[in-house]
Amino acid sequence: MPWIILDRDGVINQDSDNFIKSPAEWNPLPRSIEAMALLNRHGFRIAVLTNQSGIARGYFDLATLAAMHDKLHRLLQQAGGRVERIYVCPHGPDDGCACRKPKPGLFQQFAADTGADLRDLPAIGDSYRDLQAAAAVGCQPILVKTGKGRRTLAQHPHLPYPVYEDLYDAAQHLIA
């Protein structure tokens, strides 16, 4: 079964410039859970690759992050879907790590763990750094207009990548 890579904040759940700091603040975007279940039903395995610098900034800890992801798993299971892998960069923007997007470290770790061939693998994000990281490893970057997506499109109006309204619209294209 093929893999699909998703960013988290702004693609699956609502994003906030003040960070998503608790399970109560973690709320799925309309149709995102249904989109993920749809992808699963059509043979896609889902991996989530996400920058979570709120950990480095002290806004929340790893246990709180795990509780947010438990909420995602629970909602997705109720819809008949599942996420198989979640990769997190917990570092801040000035930490110099190799895993914080736009660097490709999370993608490389995913490939090393799963043996997945990243070439042309769909990778859906809402920010330019998501697209940069995906392109750096040969994935097929896809932009959604949710989260920071409209801002990304306004700042980079000539992106050479597909653009969709939301994750559900992107999923419908991928399964067609």
Examine the residue annotation and report whether 7 is marked as an active-site residue of this protein.
yes
Reduce the DSSP state of residue 96 to 3 states and report it: coil
- Assign domain 3-175 to a CATH class: alpha beta
The letter for the amino acid at 77 is Q
54-82 core/surface letters (b: 16 or more CB in 10 A; e: else): bbbeeebeeebbeebbebbeebbeebebe
Q: What is the mean predicted confidence (pLDDT) over 14-20?
A: 95
Whether residue 1 has pLDDT greater than 80: no
Structure confidence by residue, pLDDT tens digits, 46-66: 999 999 999 999 999 999 999
Element housing 76 (H / E):
helix 62-78
Instruction: Give the mean pLDDT of the chain.
Output: 97
Q: What is the mean predicted confidence (pLDDT) over 114-120?
A: 96
* pLDDT at residue 132 in the model: 98
Examine the residue annotation and report whether 15 is marked as an active-site residue of this protein.
no
Catalytic position from the list 9, 15, 126, 166: 9
Catalytic position from the list 7, 126, 130, 166: 7
Distance of alpha carbon 124 from alpha carbon 105, whole angstroms: 16
